[in-house]
Structure 1
């Protein structure tokens, strides 16, 4: 009987439970899960502090990696290594905080041979989103050697973006409000550290142009400040909303400097683009994985880690081992 982290609309909100296989969703592929991970969206779901989950009982977890146990689809066979991110899993559909889960074949991608299930979840939605952001900036013409800002740099998306951009020879400036993490961000590849306080206040429509590109994981006033500080024809990949959904800016960065605001979605991105991004992730140098800060916990510790993440007390990646207490 697989164990899951079950959410209920009552106290306690989350609890590790055992389910019969017949209690899992009726979907085409059954996957034995090796690892999941904890993302910001998961933290909101587990704590109930965001309107992520609307139907109960519910198993959260927007990512997982594992091995196909049983398949009623021609796409996959028992023994195949697979990855799942996005598609509303962990939001509308039962997710990866489980030892086994049934999902639709269309939601899966093959796990590249160069990645173990643990490695793939060390990346997870965070790494995928960071790579999709890099690809968007490349497609928009951002040249290697350009100055690129990364906001929320100690988070999952931000810390992967810092490493990927540095590895591709961009000059990376990392934004954080955590003074004790400056050395780690430099180790990841940041050449400059920008204090978050410089960007989270009110800003003029245009400020001095400082950066040619940016990956913004925060939104709100921070994104408005970033847009105002782009150089001529700067490119900004917007991927997050931890700082709010409002965007208090003007059209001036766009019509006076030709700044491009590039939206990045990792939830519904088509299979071909998703698979191409995972192939690029699999080709990353191994030292990027070893430098990433990671904490590995079991299902029973997921709620504690979720609270810590929302309070800004985590960094890097949090892995969920469903077979660990």
Structure 2
């Protein structure tokens, strides 16, 4: 098998493309021939040696993948079956998807929905799965399209891009917050009605501001999330799933107790296996065919280190697809 391997050398993390013996793989009862993976923000952190992502070395990064069952010791899966994987600490504590093959516990796998190809599943990937969970959280909080506009932060990234498409498909009016003015046309093309500069939200937040939004999906955290909370209308809700802008929340209890605002954390890593197929079926139903053309770029395994640097430097728009079958 060929893989991107992260190795610790003194105080430095070194990424290399290596040919590995299959007996080096970690434990698991299913072997998958990987066709597609992706580059996510967490992968970029790991590849660039940022602290707090990878727990042990050597490690194969890649927090998701899709592929075909090569061998299975679990009766739920059979040779030749198409499957996908997101989360479960893969790429952090267990070898991940930036390889031509993976050996994983069967519980980590989800059967591929009939409406999706292996490639389409990874255009959606962890980012799309997380975005769907965020949209579900707003719906569960009673935020319907007639309540008002929904604001999405980190709109040019993977989660933000998919969230805009999903919300638009469901009839919501979406406002995008982005730090990249050059992406305005792209954001409008996927459904955003308005685009606001991220610089408007990086200052320390007031306890309360003008009520502007029925709800929000926040992928950034920090001051940006605090500013959004201060602008959420009475009975509104925020689904928060990211911390690229910081893990602290410099706000007060005032939005929660004076405006009845709900802050819902969204985790996609350990989302229950029994519920995952339903989420994927909904993604397949809601996303238009144009989605798969608008928000993805395709690279090879050999380009993944270069693109991981670009992703951390905010130079990548939408989803980055890694073709593990490319020659």
Number of equivalent positions: 324
Query: Paired residue for 2:307, among 305, 308, 319?
Result: 305
Give 1:196 deviation, angstroms.
0.6
Q: Kindly tell me: are residues 95 and 212 of structure 1, through their superposed partners in 2, closer, same or farther at Cα, counting changes over 3 Å?
A: same
On the 8 A contact 1:36/1:64 being kept in 2, the answer is yes
Deviates more, 1:283-292 or 1:172-181: 283-292
Give 1:8 deviation, angstroms.
0.5
Mapped to 2, the partners of 1:278 and 1:253 lie a distance apart of 33
> For 2:289, what is the secondary structure of its paired residue?
helix
In structure 2, the residue matched to 1:227 is 229
The answer as to 2:85 corresponding to 1:64 is no
In structure 1, the residue matched to 2:218 is 216
Q: TM-score, normalised by structure 2?
A: 0.97
Once the two structures are superposed, residues 78-102 of structure 1 have per-residue CA deviations (whole angstroms, 9 ceiling, x without a partner) of: 0110010000110000000110110
In structure 1, the residue matched to 2:82 is 81
In structure 2, the residue matched to 1:6 is 5
Q: Kindly tell me: are residues 12 and 225 of structure 1, through their superposed partners in 2, closer, same or farther at Cα, counting changes over 3 Å?
A: closer
Q: Which runs of 5+ in 2 are unaligned?
A: none
Give 1:288 deviation, angstroms.
4.1
Give 1:195 deviation, angstroms.
0.9
Mapped to 2, the partners of 1:25 and 1:176 lie a distance apart of 39
Map of 1:1-325 to 2, 5 A cutoff?
A: 2-10=1-9, 13-145=14-146, 146-324=148-326
Q: Which runs of 5+ in 1 are unaligned?
A: none
> For 1:78, what is the secondary structure of its paired residue?
coil
Mapped to 2, the partners of 1:27 and 1:290 lie a distance apart of 32
Q: Provide the aligned C-alpha RMSD in A.
A: 1.2
> For 2:36, what is the secondary structure of its paired residue?
strand
On the 8 A contact 2:156/2:183 being kept in 1, the answer is yes
Give 1:295 deviation, angstroms.
1.4
> For 2:145, what is the secondary structure of its paired residue?
coil
> For 1:287, what is the secondary structure of its paired residue?
coil
Deviates more, 1:234-243 or 1:291-300: 291-300
> For 1:192, what is the secondary structure of its paired residue?
strand
On the 8 A contact 2:27/2:105 being kept in 1, the answer is no
Q: TM-score, normalised by structure 1?
A: 0.97
On the 8 A contact 1:15/1:300 being kept in 2, the answer is no
